Structure 1
Amino acid sequence: MTAPSGAKRMTVIQATFIGVGSMVGAGIFALLGAAGAVAGAAVWLSFLAAGVIAALQGYSFAKLGAKYPSGGGILGYLSHGLGEGHLTGIASWLFFTAGSIVVAMIASSFGAYASSVVAGGDPFWATVLALVLIVVMTALNAVGSTAVARVQSVIVVVVLAILVVFAAVTIANWNIELLSPAGYPGVREIIASIALTFFAFLGFGVITFTAKDLPNPSRQLPKAIYLALAIATTIYVAVSLGVFGTLTADQVVEYGTTALAEAAKPTLGQAGYVLMVITALFSTTGAVNAGLYPSIGMTAHLASVGQFPPVFGRSIGRFPVGLLVMAALASILVVGFNVNNIASIGSAVALLVFTAVTVAHFRLYKITGANIIVLVIALVATLGTFIVFCTTTLANEPATAIALIGIILLSIAVDFIWKARARRSSPPAQPEPAG
């Protein structure tokens, strides 16, 4: 299927960079310490295994995207496989709400980094700078996908260049003994850490929403998905080898979000710290840009099929309503809540939606030409990751567990209320005239 000529605005590389920008965000800074506390120096194996699981899920998305390309992305795949009932509607509201939370969390991270540079870490200015980023990225998305793709390409190139330099420098000077398998924990711990490192790949689902902007999505979308996952996996493995080959696992856990800067210091000195701050600012900017991008096509598609109110398919001037609602919700969360306390909620929701999409694919695999065995493995791997997440991360984050239950109940309520209202307001069917 080929997009209309007016929609030919994005290349495979640009679609790839939207996915990479969504994945390689601030999470890499926080994940190393958290994963290191569980898997020690074997974190690179966790990233590699998580990349394989993501590739299995990516195979499912690529097959669906090639057959059903639309601005609705993975939520459109749900519609094709499960219909337009309550399950698809609830998943859609859940995904939209969680997306707003993730945008708020990443914007808050940007604010924290930026304020540490320009305002000594003042919390007030951290909030102001986070809101400024949301406003700027909202305006950029309103300009159009071409502007989004071009800016995202610049951001991702800068981030990847810095991380490649970081990985090359640290690996060239690493202490190989720190990575000795003799110091690795047991297999159970490494498997448990995969639930953490897999979260670094969840952003690749954003690529499915680029189908509306690709000239030939049936061919280009799968290429973008596979290329983005390959780039992210390579970067994550290289960075983790560099960090854990320079610092002990205990040091990585102790340094936390500054572990990358500390690992760069032996060879780059203070320049290493500056590089990591620049990386954090660019990566969080790119992640907010990529996080807002799906809101336009997603909500327009959902409004067109009746899952969302028709207003979500409209625009106020040049600003699509879906984009404005997501930006407004994210801004409210930045001002009124400590979203870092429920940072994992986006991961939990993404895993649930990914699982639902794969289940839907079972009803479509003969049409998409997908291998049923690969789909089964993908489902088991993704569902298994969610179960491990629930028994590890959620068990230690009651705020996240409560918030997850809350937005699930809210999504159910909104879906049932909206559809009941829509049924009442729709005109009754007229009887056909006799004869």
Structure 2
Amino acid sequence: MSTTIPKKQMTVMQAAFIGVGSMVGAGIFALLGAAGAVAGSAVWVSFLVAGTIAGLQGYSFAKLGAAFPSGGGMLAYLARGFGEGHVTGIVSWLFYVTGAIVGAMVASSFGGYASAVLTGRDPGWAKAFAVALILVMTALNAVGSTAVARVQSLIVKLVLAILSVFAIVTIANWNPALLDPAGYPGVREIIASVALTFFAFLGFGVITFTAKDLPAPSRQLPRAMYLALAIATTVYVAVSLGVFGTLTADQVVEYGATALAEAAKPTLGQFGYVLMVVTALLSTAGAVNASLYPSVGMTRHLALVGQFPPVFGSSLGRRHVPVGLLVMAGLAAVMVLAFNLNSIASLGSAVALLVFSAVTVAHFKVYKETGALLMVLIIALVATMGTFVVFCTTTLVNEPATAAALVVILALALITDLLWKRHRRRAN
């Protein structure tokens, strides 16, 4: 009697939407105010440059994914270059924490919007709503990747449709004087803001973990990667043009996370404000959903190859809830309660830039197998590390607590890997 293997369900569009959902929720609603404080009305330029850097990294990831599709995503690519030693282990712990950071940051944005609508911006309620969202999306991810993909596709389609209407309406009625290049800050300020707006693209790395759910990952993964980055960059540039063509840079900074909703008022009235608030809630909810998605396949893979303790590859209860998912959700909830929104964003940017750079360095060792152009990889590494250096010399210098937290995270990743590897050697 022959048995049939069930077909994998995820499509290229669904895989792309997981990345788009993670990026758009993290970026356009949460960071416009912070980016505007640095780059002024030139934020659209900042998003365009950040998107280009993300595209260079996306090229590297797409080539790796096509050659070595794996449920371990970019961490499996890392092992191709460095082996299963300490470098891969340390970076794996860092990436795992980055997932929690991104989830926490976007959940905090959701909490801020929900609190503004329901409780008059009460900080306590904002944190409560954020933690509640993390719990709900953890439950959804526990159901399985098919459920995640279907929910994510629905959310992203709604969000993109509404943001497209918003961009078209605001750009059609903008005040060109507000976007006059004569009023832009200096090149240094715009470059400094790229380190912040790059956070808006961190979600594209999530796409590498969809390989386990794609029928033909070697062909479909690159398509999903490029599609997601193209959509996100277009949305960011168009929406930032609409917002900064409607409001002054000072107004955008003042309104912060609700800047999009305020920018909708002049042309769409109170209905536009409410519509954008609802869109923000949907988008940030989808981003938390997408940020938790990699934890299942990633931790199972890392536990299987010995980088993480075996418990991370196990499940709990009759519903077999993955331990790796529960731990990431727990970390995200703790960060929501312990840090403010800007601190979380800064940590996420710094750690992710280091992780992406490490994957590119690993790619150098196998680029002949992937068929990637070495010069493109070099440019990607220089651009990414350059952004990290600018970030450290501008943003982190003014946030000593965040800088200290970054050092602690790096040290903990190192210590955790060393202790686990020593325990594993002794056990064997």
What is the TM-score of this pair, normalised by structure 1? Answer: 0.94
| DSSP 3-state at the match of 1:343 | helix
Tell me what 2:27 maps to.
Answer: 27
Distance in 2 between the 1:43 and 1:15 partners?
28
Paired AA for residue 281 in structure 1? L
Give the aligned partner of residue 406 of structure 2.
404
User: Structure 2 matches for 1:314-393, cutoff 5 A?
Assistant: 314-317=314-317, 318-338=320-340, 340-393=342-395
What letter matches 1:186 in structure 2?
A: G
Return 53-62 or 43-52, whichever deviates more: 43-52
Q: Give the AA of the match of 1:370.
A: A
| CA–CA distance in structure 2, aligned partners of residues 342 and 150 of structure 1 | 28
Residue 49 of structure 1 corresponds to 49
What RMSD in Å do the two structures reach over aligned CA positions?
1.6
CA distance in 1, matches of 2:367, 2:211: 20
**Structure 2 residue matching 1:25: 3-state secondary structure:** helix
Query: Counterpart of 2:141?
Result: 141
The one-letter amino acid paired with 1:165 is V
Other-structure match for 1:223: 223
Q: Could you tell me whether the CA contact under 8 Å between 1:342 and 1:403 is conserved in 2? A: no
- The letter of the residue matching 1:28 is I
Describe the SS at the equivalent of 2:226. Answer: helix
Measure the CA separation in 1 of the matches of 2:101 and 2:341: 7
- Distance change in 2, residues 1:163/1:363 (3 Å): same
Describe the SS at the equivalent of 2:69.
coil
Q: In structure 1, what residue type is equivalent to 2:197?
A: T
SS at match of 1:269: helix
Identity of aligned residues (%): 76
Q: Cα 1:239–1:316, aligned 2, differ >3 Å: closer, same or farther?
A: same
Counterpart code for 2:183: G
Moved over 6 A (4+): none
1:330-353, CA deviations, whole angstroms, 9 ceiling, x for partnerless residues? 223334554653331111111000
Residues 1:7 and 1:72: Cα distance change in structure 2 (over 3 Å) = farther
> What amino acid is aligned across from residue 86 of structure 2 in structure 1?
H
1:76-225 matches, within 5 Å, as: 76-225=76-225
- Give the structure 1 partner of residue 422 of structure 2: 420
Distance across 2 between alignment mates of 1:191 and 1:341 = 20
SS in 1 for 2:25: coil
Deviation at 1:258? 2.3
Which shifted more, 254-263 or 225-234? 254-263
CA contact (8 A) 2:26 2:102 kept: no
1:236 and 1:358 mapped to 2: Cα distance? 25
Whole-angstrom distance in 2 between the partners of 1:227 and 1:27:
17
1:285 aligns with: 285
Tell me the amino acid that sits aligned with residue 215 of structure 1.
Answer: P
Aligned positions of 1:276-315 closer than 5 A: 276-315=276-315
Shift of residue 115 of structure 1? 2.6
Q: 1:34 to 1:329 in 2, by over 3 A?
A: closer
- What's the TM-score once normalised by structure 2's chain length? 0.95
Native 8 Å contact 1:51 1:233 kept in 2? yes
Aligned to 1:429: none
Tell me how far 1:66 sits from its aligned partner.
Answer: 0.4
> Which is further off, 101-110 or 317-326?
101-110
Using the alignment, how far apart are the partners of 2:338 and 2:48 within structure 1?
Answer: 37
Q: 391, 396, 412: which one pairs with 1:394?
A: 396
In 1, distance between residues paired with 2:369 and 2:125? 52
How many angstroms does 1:187 deviate by? 2.4
Which whole-Å CA distance do the structure 1 matches of 2:419 and 2:297 have between them? Answer: 23
The answer for unaligned runs of 5 or more in structure 1 is 427-435
What is the CA-CA distance between 1:41 and the residue it aligns to? 2.0
Q: Identify if the C-alpha distance between structure 1 residues 226 and 5 changes in structure 2 by more than 3 Å, giving closer, same or farther.
A: farther
Q: Is the 8 A contact 1:26 1:280 kept in 2?
A: no
Letter in 2 for 1:50: A
Counterpart contact for 1:264–1:273, Cα < 8 Å: yes
Q: Name which one, 1 or 2, has greater alpha-carbon Rg.
A: 1
